[in-house]
Structures are given as C-alpha cells and as structure tokens.
Structure 1
C-alpha cells in the first residue's frame, strides 16, 4: 500500500557548499516496488516511475501521491522539456516517447540503423530541445538485444537519432552541466563517470573519464547550480565538477536515481527501490543558463 511518511532520519554529513554537519532524510512515500526516473515539474510536483508495476506516479508536497500513467511500457527514466512535455524511456517497449496535447504519446526513437533499441534507461533534455538518453540492457533485456553495443544517443529537435557513443559495457544515468555544454554518463559495469563536450547542435566530442572508483553501482546522476555532481550509488556521492569526492549522503536503501525539486529547487528527491526520500540542502539544483 502506497503511503506518505513523515519519518525523518538525522545523520552527520551535508551537501556540497556546506561544512560537514547534520542533514535530514525524510521518507516522502513508501510501499513501491522499484522506483526510478524522478523529475520535478514547474507545476509543483515530482514525477517518477515504478517499473515493476508499470506505472508513472506524481507526488505533490502537501497533497500526496497519485497515479499519472498506467500501462507505462516499463517506464524508467523521465525528463521534461521546456514546453512541459514528459519524455520517458519505456524500457519494456524499447523506445523513447514524449507526451502530446491529446493525452497520448509520440514515439521519438525505437530503432537505430534498422535494429530495435536495447532498453532505453535514462534521459535528459537540454533547454534548446536536444534529447540525450542511455540504452543499456540489464537482465533479460540483454538476451534479446539486437544492437551490438550499448548506446548513448542524441535526438535532435528535428527528430534525428544519432549515437554519441557505442559502449562495450553498460551506461546508465545521464545528466547535463548547468550550461548544457557537458554531458555526464554513469557506467554501471565500470563504476565510473564519463564526460563529453557538447556543441550547440548536440554533437559530442572529447570523451573522457571524469570519476573512477565509485562505491556501489552508479545509477542516476544530477548536477547542482555550482556544477557539482550527485550520483546515486552506495548512498548519494557528491563530487566537484573536477571529479573530487566532496562527501556522501547516507540513505537507508540503495538509491536508484535523484532529482532536485520543490519551488526553490533545494530539495533532493531520491528514489531508492521501495521508497521515495527527500533531503533539504543549501544549494539549488542546476537550471540551464543557455
């Protein structure tokens, strides 16, 4: 049974841009199966997926939980474009879709070079409409994949699909720097983060390893207004833009993904298997400035 909780945990450590001290981890909701893909809407609510139940949920602070979409196609990662349209990685249907004004969805990507995508996992949308997503294949998805690689993909505003990278091992979470010029991708199998420089057309160059030796399996990733990186792994590991570990927020369940939210963007929402957590910070999530 889904429910909102007011249970609060206090621990020692804090977010980037603060001295070490206490932070509060609150359970905002529980009773789920495997949460993923949180994204904050300007309309004042958090959207996230519960993969095994095939649903997308909406959490409104002060109001509670509701189901936003049934039969979600195994929805995993979510993002919102500048027009408020929801872009979703439908892992089970092996495609990326976007909500439309008729209450349905339009398919943005489902094949590459004539072959079906593996299982789109996480997605981010730049302010100018360029979409970037990862396409690994975990578990049974790996047995039926048609592509010979695990991809990091780009969808242009015109709908053109290109492969930024063809990895031999699996990518997972994806995020942008505050100015939208650097793309970050977590590598679950290798326990590291790669970075790419992006131009105005969304083309990627200068692939490099930014972070190594991550504790736990790195999954979702986000950035704050200062460009620091927040990685869902064994807890939430916070790194500087240069890749230096600043500190770790401990969560009682292994986090899967995260997103900054609330009107001031100073609450970090964390999806962690069966529970939705939130942590108030002193720094805002990144808002693209270009």
Structure 2
C-alpha cells in the first residue's frame, strides 16, 4: 500500500482514511476513487466557508491546463494532448469549444473577442478563435525560438505577458527560461532574463496592474515584480512562499508545484501547488489552503458572478463555491 499512501498524501486525514479503506476493498478502482472523492475545505475568512465541498466534475480529460472564464460564465480549459479547448457549463455539462487548438496552453480573451493563446505545438503566441481571425502574434525573440511557451496574461492596454518555461524536467536540453512582454504595438521584449527563474510557469497581474506575479515551479516562492511604464519589470521579490516547499516530482526533480495563478475581487492570490490551492493576501501572507483530491495544475474563477473557483489537474476537474468572486477585470 506504499504507493496508495503516497497518492493520497495531500488529502485531509478523514478523506485519506476513507480512500485507503476503499482501496483495500476495491484496489482496481482506486484511481477513479482518488479523483472522484469529495473533500471539504477548511474555513478561510473571506474565501471559503468551513466544510464547503470541493466538488468533483469529471476525470479522463487529455491534459488539463489554461483555464479561464468565458464571457457567458462557463469555464474553458485546454486538453493539450487532445489538441482542443473544452467547455464546462455551470450545470457541469461538457462540450468541445474548439478543435485543433494548435496545442494551446494558457488562454485569454481580448476585448474584441479574440481568444489569444500560447501554443506549444509551435511555441508561439497567437489568436486561435474565432474562425477566420487566426493569426500569429509572436513566434520567436530576436530570431531565437522559444522552448516551451506556457502561460499568459493580458493587460488592459492590450499588452501580453507570457512565460517560456524551458524544456520539461525530463528532457535533457539546455534550458533557456524567460518572461516576455508584447506591447500594444506588437514589439516584444524579454522582461526576465534567461534562466533568472528556474521554471517560470503561471503568470498573473495585480488588480491595479502595477505588479506582475510569476509562479516558479522550480522554487519555493511565487515572485512579484513592479511594472514600469514601458512594460518592463523591476524590484523582483519573493512574494509568497509555498507552504510545503519543494518536493520531488514524478521525474525526481525538486518542485513546489506552483503553477496556475488567479486573483479575486479583493486582491487575494490563489496558487495551485503540490498540496492543493494556496491562498495569499495582497502582501503575500498565507491565509490557508483548499484541498484537492489530486495534485492540481491550474485554476480560474467562472460561473455566475465568478463565485465558483474551478480547479483542473492530472486529467480531472473540480469546482468549489467561494465567498469572494474572482476579479471582474480578468478572465481568470
């Protein structure tokens, strides 16, 4: 049962005991049970009521990344291995939003309705929807191809920040990670130098867009940067420490699991990590964690009034009702 205990190590005690008991009776179904078990959140003031159920929606998705809220309140995310974008309606019905997404990962809607994505098939940033308006916005930097474009966030001025996470930890290649900014005129600049962050992943702006947050999967902190008038960055800080620090991932590399980032209407920062969803205030103070049955990868607020937090990872999707809605000025 060692592997079973490890699989459930992130679960609260009661849920863990229930799942381990089920495993002894029906081990064939353990992976399904692990994903589908309901867990309950502890009280986090202003965030979630004690005992709120983290509701399982579905498992078996072919990759789970890039979640955002659609204009109609439904929830979109990418199935990267299936090369499509999937929609979950508020009633949990599931449909395909877009086929042939060019390996889209991070997503964001522009004010004109264009869906801008980072695309791992060609490691570029571009528009994939609506049909007929597809175009490439940036495909390299000074002639150098990106290694693995990962996530993006749109500023109100039309600028785009995005991360290049470098090759995966299981790929033997020279990493060249970075963070980039495409200004409203289409000019690209590297705003965080090569390998200054071990593995830049999720990216998010503060409500006033004076601060940029970057999740460092290879480190213990979510980083923050002050934003200059031209979009460049300064004053790097270790903003929020992931509570359980670095753990060995599936490839044996040390990782905090820090990945997806989202903010609520009061400026709190929500971070997916090895242990669930970690919540921090605007000063980086840890407020508490929302448990998830299996290690999450990304998250976004959606639903009516953005008062539902959707969480995806390892082929599964969940949702939890929250007290404070997601920030209305951002698709996440």
TM-score by length of 2: 0.78
d(CA) in 2 for partners of 1:19, 1:72: 34
d(CA) in 2 for partners of 1:40, 1:14: 25
Partner of 2:310: 269
CA spacing shift, 1:59–1:103, aligned 2, 3 Å: farther
Contact 1:89–1:121 (CA<8 Å) still a contact in 2? Answer: yes
How much does 1:240 deviate? 1.1
In the TM superposition, 1:48-127 aligns within 5 A as 48-62=77-91, 64-99=93-128, 101-127=130-156
1:222 aligns with 2:262: yes
In the TM superposition, 1:64-213 aligns within 5 A as 64-99=93-128, 101-139=130-168, 143=172, 149-168=176-195, 169-213=198-242
How much does 1:9 deviate? 2.3
Partner of 1:4: none
d(CA) in 2 for partners of 1:205, 1:161: 17
Contact 2:41–2:54 (CA<8 Å) still a contact in 1? Answer: no
How much does 1:177 deviate? 0.8
CA spacing shift, 1:18–1:175, aligned 2, 3 Å: closer
How much does 1:201 deviate? 3.6
How much does 1:33 deviate? 2.7
The total of aligned residue pairs comes to 281
d(CA) in 2 for partners of 1:63, 1:237: 24
Contact 2:213–2:222 (CA<8 Å) still a contact in 1? Answer: yes
d(CA) in 2 for partners of 1:167, 1:250: 34
How much does 1:29 deviate? 2.8
d(CA) in 2 for partners of 1:200, 1:79: 22
2:292 to 235, 242, 251: 251
How much does 1:15 deviate? 4.2
Q: Runs of 5+ in structure 2 lacking a partner?
A: 1-35, 245-255
Runs of 4+ in 1 over 6 A off after TM superposition: none
Contact 1:178–1:287 (CA<8 Å) still a contact in 2? Answer: no
How much does 1:139 deviate? 2.5
d(CA) in 1 for partners of 2:133, 2:243: 39
- SS of residue in 2 equivalent to 1:121: strand
Partner of 1:3: none
Deviates more, 1:7-16 or 1:258-267: 7-16
1:55-91 alpha-carbon deviations (Å, 9 max, x no partner): 2112222372222222322221111122222111111
d(CA) in 2 for partners of 1:231, 1:19: 15
- SS of residue in 1 equivalent to 2:81: coil
How much does 1:54 deviate? 1.8
Contact 2:68–2:76 (CA<8 Å) still a contact in 1? Answer: yes
d(CA) in 2 for partners of 1:36, 1:48: 6
Deviates more, 1:117-126 or 1:135-144: 135-144
d(CA) in 2 for partners of 1:280, 1:246: 17
How much does 1:288 deviate? 3.2
d(CA) in 2 for partners of 1:29, 1:278: 10
- SS of residue in 2 equivalent to 1:52: helix
How much does 1:143 deviate? 4.6
CA spacing shift, 1:277–1:12, aligned 2, 3 Å: closer
Contact 2:242–2:278 (CA<8 Å) still a contact in 1? Answer: no
1:23 aligns with 2:52: yes
Q: Runs of 5+ in structure 1 lacking a partner?
A: 1-6
CA spacing shift, 1:288–1:44, aligned 2, 3 Å: closer
- SS of residue in 1 equivalent to 2:239: strand
